[in-house]
Amino acid sequence: MEGRKLGGRYEILSRVGGGGMAVVYKARDVLLNRYVAIKVLNESLSNDSEFVRRFSREAQAAASLSHPNVVGVYDVGQENHTHYIVMEYIEGPTLKEYIQQYSPLTTEEIVSIASQICDALAHAHENEIVHRDVKPHNILLGYNGRAKVTDFGIARATSSSTITQAGSVMGSVHYFSPEQARGSMISAKSDIYSLGVVLYEMVTGELPFDGDSAISIAMKHLQEPAIDPSQLNPNIPTQIRDIILKALAKNPDDRYPTVRAMKQDIDSVLHTGSMINEPRLRTGDEEDMPTKPIHAVNNGMGAASKPDAATQRSQVGQDTMANLERLRNVPADKDKTVLERTVVWLENVQTNMPWWQKVLFALFTFVVIICLTVFGFNAVWGIFNQGAEVEVPNLKGKTVAQAKVALEDKDLKAAKVQSVFSSAPKNTVVGQSIDAGKQMEKGSEVDLFVSSGSEKGKMIGTLGLKAPAAKRKLREMGFSNIKIAKEGYDSKYGEGEIYKQSPDKGDSVKTDEEVTLYVNDKNGTVKVPDWIGEYQSSLGGSGLRTKLIFWPKPGMSRGKVFATDPAPGELVKQDGVVKVWIADTKKGRDAEPPPKH
């Protein structure tokens, strides 16, 4: 996608993020000469009307909002099968990345960021839009301290007759509200609950509810009280603690009536009023950071042993359990294979089918079983009734015409005729795919390798082939000096495939020259890219893991890379970690000085 121009004006520069539904790229608007972010729907989903409708809904929802704390939408387009949204480009981390780097956040940061999120959500709610997926991943932080809410992909108007799709999970399980878990009608108070979870994570660095599966996490949202955040971070003000616990109330009526009311309480913590001036992002030294206490967390079950009246009211009934079956096979993580996801999808589809569709599904399954049985029977029958075998003749030294006649005399066929480098007379057979003397069933095919009349010619290509297949192909062409090298890695090719060869395809070579094939090996090494001078958002795509270190660098723009360890061009193991130093005004937490190379 990099280098492509969408709509005749948006030049794709680099990938900055993405998920299962879409990928986000940094691009340049050549017409207005400015950077933009472009969200592109995965092409595999472009024929799925539901995903296209959801993608279009995101554009419509975001475009209907105009607020300094909402990522602006500039344009929407479609080019062939590519659907895309052009948005405001924010130079800075997500709130999730910021929490991972600096948690627990300071009171000033919590109040500033939370107040801005409240402003954005209040604007959406006043325009009758519920976000439904409020989480730190969907909150972008500019280096000027401005927070912006994005990703209205599952937003829905509050006037819609229903807000839940049957058989589907809308929102992120760690952040969604009890009513989302139940599959009930969702209001603006669901966003308030999700914002409470985000506040909890900013204050403690941990999630209030976690588990091994999506359904176990959803059950905790429904039944269990969150651990008091002051137990995990005793330094937080009592007002912030009370705001979080009120927002996390199981019953929507016990939460704030509006997000504006929640904002008033947040602003009153520091008596900041309208919170017009946002503080810049913190990159403070370690000595400025309060010590984070470590506690033995008991998965949210260490509270009172007997449920109080509010908890009893939220006990899960049969209807709610039926709705929770949507989450039965949803993983709590993303480490699932395509096969596992397909099986889960099929199970969910069958579970939510009406009776007549289940009957059709059963009939379809029966037909498939019958077809497989017939196919298997024919295969077995063929094994026991195969024709007589014949001996493969020696074809070397014959012309192509003579070799074909010799094969026909044995009821065999000449299949592929391939020219190879050889000093033998031109068009004479120098090799065959099945060795002479072997037994084969009548009607089988034999490949012929015919001399080109010279040991010199143009090199063939082997990229993308597995090493054994590439070696076999080269030997068939007459090469004998073949070397296999396991160094380097290219993410465009699979494990064990050839990603580079020497000489290159098309080069003039002799059959006695050394040919080196470079095999993709995840345990091998890869060159460190040259990121020096690039912005932090440009990192990625190399397959390497990175550790970001913020360090003062006079003369370098904030957010740019000025050093790496290992240095650019050096080799590092594919699963290794590259330390990347980012220019900032102060040292980051746990920062170490850059190398002097």
SS (H, E, C) 111-160: HHHHHHHHHHHHHHHHCCEECCCCCHHHEEECCCCCEEECCCCCCEECCC
What is the rounded CA–CA span in Å between residue 235 and residue 544? 37
The DSSP code for 33 is T
| End-to-end C-alpha distance for the chain, whole angstroms | 34
User: CB of 463 within 8 A of CB of 482?
Assistant: no
What is the rounded CA–CA span in Å between residue 147 and residue 118? 10
- Buried-exposed string 434-465: b where 16+ CB fall within 10 A, e elsewhere: eeeeeebeeebebebbbbbeebebebbebbeb
Q: What is the CB neighbour count within 10 angstroms for residue 131?
A: 28
The DSSP code for 404 is H
The one catalytic residue among 29, 119, 133, 191: 133
Name the nearest CA neighbour of 537 among 552, 565, 558.
558
- Buried-exposed string 25-58: b where 16+ CB fall within 10 A, e elsewhere: bbbbbeeeeeebbbbbbbeebbeeeebeebbebb
The reply to whether 335 belongs to the active site is no
Q: How far is CA 350 from the centre of its chain?
A: 27
Task: Tell me if 39 is assigned to a ligand binding site.
Answer: yes
User: CB of 392 within 8 A of CB of 437?
Assistant: yes
Token digits of residue 134:
């409020």
Percent helix / strand / coil, the chain, rounded to 5: 30, 20, 45
Which residues, 6 or more positions from 209, have their beta carbon under 8 angstroms from its beta carbon?
174, 217, 220, 221, 224, 226, 300
Dihedral, CA of residue 377, residue 378, residue 380 and residue 385, to nearest 10: 140
Q: Which residues are annotated as a binding site for ATP?
A: 39
Catalytic machinery residues:
133
Q: Which residues are annotated as a binding site?
A: 39
